Amino acid sequence: MNDLELKITNPQNHIKKGISVSEKYSPQQKGKLAKASKDFESMLTTMMIKSMTKTTDGLFGKEHYGGDVLDVLFETEMAKHITDSKGMGIADKIFSSMTGENLKKFENDNQSKSIEKSNLFKGNSSSLKSEDIKSPVEKISPSNKSLQRIDKYDHIIKDAAEKYDLDEKLIKSVILTESAGRADAKSKANAKGLMQLMDSTATDMGVKNSWDPKDNIHGGAKYLSKLLNQFDGEVDLALAAYNAGPGNVNKYNGIPPFKETQAYVKRVNNYLNILD
């Protein structure tokens, strides 16, 4: 059999060029790609450290008590530290080839957004402020009964989270806030089920039976995912839109000045922190 020769005019082209598909990834997906890229580089760094310390029987020597366990812990932490600092550039290459963006810039931009999250809507006196963090609403914990109720829907929530690229904890937090895990919940406005879907929203999301837990959760998750995409991955804006409608969020250029909506956003965030 003859050797197959590949003609490559620029052997680095497949790394440097990058694929212009940034618009295909949501902010959440980019976050997952960033983590996966860094985890991969960290794994390679760990293997390099193992190889470098092989002749000395590891970082702590062959006879050191518990050395084998400590080696793994220290090697992992060292690799993570190296990757999180400057790194070898592998993670950035992977992330760039997938998204066309710079990994460090993406992380810095996300960090800036996180820091400014409590003041997203400057000039709007009704938006949530950092001093509101200590409000009584955020100190409320979900009851054990409500947590037990949603436990039986774990498999449905997991499927919906994977299908619509959402955090499982976010779906659970919305369910806890909307219905306390009651599949038969119905509001005065005729919102139904675990994620309190209005009939019009249920129809738009393809839900055939709002009282069916699977239909309801998938419909609510689909709607939440749509809102996150609409508001560029800003969780608070998506939550406000879920409660008060996207029209109101656009009208007030932020979280609307409705006490119910502001309390809703804070409560969901509170449950997110508790479920962590």
Domains of the chain: residue spans and CATH: 13-115 (no CATH), 129-275 (1.10.530.10)
DSSP at 3: P
**pLDDT by position in tens, the chain (length 276):** 555 454 444 444 443 444 444 456 677 777 787 777 777 777 777 777 667 666 665 555 555 544 454 455 555 666 565 656 666 677 777 777 777 777 777 677 666 554 444 333 333 333 443 334 334 444 577 888 999 999 999 999 999 999 999 999 999 999 999 999 999 999 998 999 999 999 999 999 999 999 999 999 999 999 999 999 999 999 999 999 999 999 999 999 999 999 999 999 999 999 998 886
- Is 92 within 8 Å of 104 (Cβ atoms)? yes
| Other CB atoms within 10 A of residue 153 CB | 20
Tell me how far apart the alpha carbons of residues 233 and 30 are, in angstroms, rounded to a whole number. 11
- Is 249 within 8 Å of 191 (Cβ atoms)? no
State how far the alpha carbon of 104 is from the alpha carbons of 21, 109, 112, 163, 171, in Å.
18, 8, 12, 28, 29
| Other CB atoms within 10 A of residue 251 CB | 11
178 an active-site residue? yes
Burial 113-126 (b: 16+ CB within 10 A, else e): eeeeeeebbeeeee
Catalytic residue (choose from 41, 101, 178, 234): 178
Q: Identify any residues that bridge with 186 across adjacent strands, giving them in sequence order.
A: 192
